[in-house]
Amino acid sequence: MTKFTDMNLDKKVLKAIEETGYDTPTPIQAGAIPPALEGKDVLGIAQTGTGKTAAFTLPMITMLKRGRAKARMPRSLVLAPTRELAAQVAENFDQYAKYTKLTKALLIGGTSFKDQDKLIDKGVDVLIATPGRLLDHLERGKLILTDVKIMVVDEADRMLDMGFIPDIEEIFKRTPFTRQTLFFSATMAPEIERITNTFLSAPAKVEVARAATTNTNIKQGVVMFKGSNKMRADSEKRALLRALIDAEGDACSNAIIFCNRKSDVDIVAKSLNKHGYDAAPIHGDLDQSHRTRTLDGFRDNKLRFLVASDVAARGLDIPAVTHVFNFDVPSHAEDYVHRIGRTGRAGRSGVAIMICNPRDEKNLADVERLVKQEIPRLENPLAKGGTPAPQAESTTEEKPKRTRTRRKKDDAPKVEEAPKVEAQAEVAPEPRKAPERKSRDDQPQADRKRQNDRGRRQEKNTVVGLGDDVPTFIAMSFDERGKN
């Protein structure tokens, strides 16, 4: 069996590896490290959780032991799709390069440009970045990639899913043609294959497992679920999740729960906490410091359940995750492989359980077609036949009570209004000449004022206009006026 000491790794690197407690490389490491040390391009295809990070970090540190970085001109570049994966690569670099004098810079979103510029200006041997933040620095003129000797693309299929392929192509064009490229992916979509054919030169292909296969150490299952009605389906699905967690008992020491939508991540985390389960959400809308604190708490076993979107599905190295619960069937079948790959790492066993609604059955069929196996159906722990007993988180009987109360209040004024109108008619009798409008409230204010004034004058017997003293010429007929 091959050991790390049998490879041409630097002695300082071997010392760091020995302190981690590992002496035997994983299949992807055993296949990728030797050709990488020879300076060849490498195309690595392996399922997640098989040690791909060390497969490129160890030879990179060994090959960069000689030389010195120039300001704004890194000697190597590692591209990762998410901030979490980039931060994890940086941690691995620190762990394996601690006995060397190599320097690094981590360029990810959510952190200060100013601090990153300071590191770049000093010159770094290894630049670890997400594509978006790297292009930001390039457009600001803060980086020059013409001195890059080794370029690594990690989780290339995730780059494709996130729409980073045009950015990757732009970054490739800014690096030297003579660079060495190490390219790693769990699956080989046609677009990924096109890029490898374009930017890799006669790569050594290392495939330790069939593309898009799942780890045999992971026990998989799916529960077919149908809500009792549309209004209660969501709360019943959350009740089913809690029942599945309880059914695992003490074996479920911690777990990652994946949801398709960010809004569901927050709702599920809040629901679990409400029912006494220690949970916290993590998704792309949270700031980087919050995400880092949440992940650190989960790694340190201070947090039992991590409710996540697919931002956490790729590359997170948390070896002791016992369970993965897919609250939703992933929309992209490849994401299923990466989600359940968070458990069963480093030779450990793991459990992956998924909940499938009737509308998600097509996505489930896509997943089974991709992994080339049928996922075992599990019995619903809440009820036989797959329909959980109603366990809504809030009572729906309160709504009609509030509605009946509002109707009573609305009806009360109508009963009281009638006597008020009659009382007004008795106190203020209508004027001698009734107005055209039916109600006094409908009259314009000016008309009401004129009527009130006329009534007061009549009460005082005041003569209005000409009274009884009519001039003679007015009483005359038109014929008589003409004669005069």
Residue type for position 290: H
All domains of the chain in start order, with CATH: 4-207 (3.40.50.300), 218-386 (3.40.50.300), 398-459 (no CATH)
- Residues near 100 by Cβ (< 8 Å), separated by ≥ 6? 10, 12, 13, 61, 65
Q: What is the pLDDT along the chain (484 residues), one digit of tens a residue?
A: 589 999 999 999 999 999 988 889 989 999 999 999 999 999 998 876 678 899 999 999 999 988 888 889 999 999 998 888 898 899 999 999 999 999 999 999 878 899 999 999 999 999 999 999 999 999 999 999 999 999 999 988 888 878 888 999 999 999 999 999 999 987 788 888 999 999 999 999 998 865 556 677 899 999 999 988 889 999 999 999 999 999 999 999 999 999 999 899 999 999 999 999 999 999 878 887 888 889 889 989 999 999 998 865 565 667 789 999 999 999 888 889 888 888 887 678 899 999 999 999 999 999 999 888 999 999 999 865 444 443 444 433 344 445 454 544 444 444 444 444 444 444 445 555 544 544 444 455 555 556 666 555 555 554 555 555 556 666 665 555 555 5
Q: How far apart are CA 26 and CA 20, in angstroms?
A: 14
Q: Taking the CB of residue 420, how many other CB atoms lie within 10 A of it?
A: 8
> Is 428 in a helix, a strand, or coil?
coil
Exposure string of 52-73, with b = 16+ CB inside 10 Å and e = fewer, is bbbbbbbbbbbbbeeeebeebb
Read off the DSSP letter of residue 221.
E
d(CA 270, CA 357) in angstroms, rounded, equals 21
Measured CA to CA, the distance from residue 281 to residue 264 in angstroms comes to: 10
Q: How far apart are CA 198 and CA 186, in angstroms?
A: 19
C-alpha to C-alpha distances, 93 to 102, 182, 433, nearest whole angstrom: 9, 16, 100
**Angle between helix 190-199 and 165-173 (nearest 10):** 0
Distance CA 268, CA 244 (A): 14
- Please report which residue ranges of 190-232 form alpha helices under DSSP H: 190-199
Q: Give the tokens for residue 266.
A: 């927050």
Q: 378 burial class (0-12, 13-18, 19+ CB within 10 angstroms)?
A: middle
Three-state DSSP class for 20? Answer: helix
DSSP assignment of 146-192 equals: TT--EEEE-SHHHHHHTT-HHHHHHHHHTS-TT-EEEEEESS--HHH
pTM for this model (two decimals): 0.63
* Residue corresponding to tokens 């014929």: 479
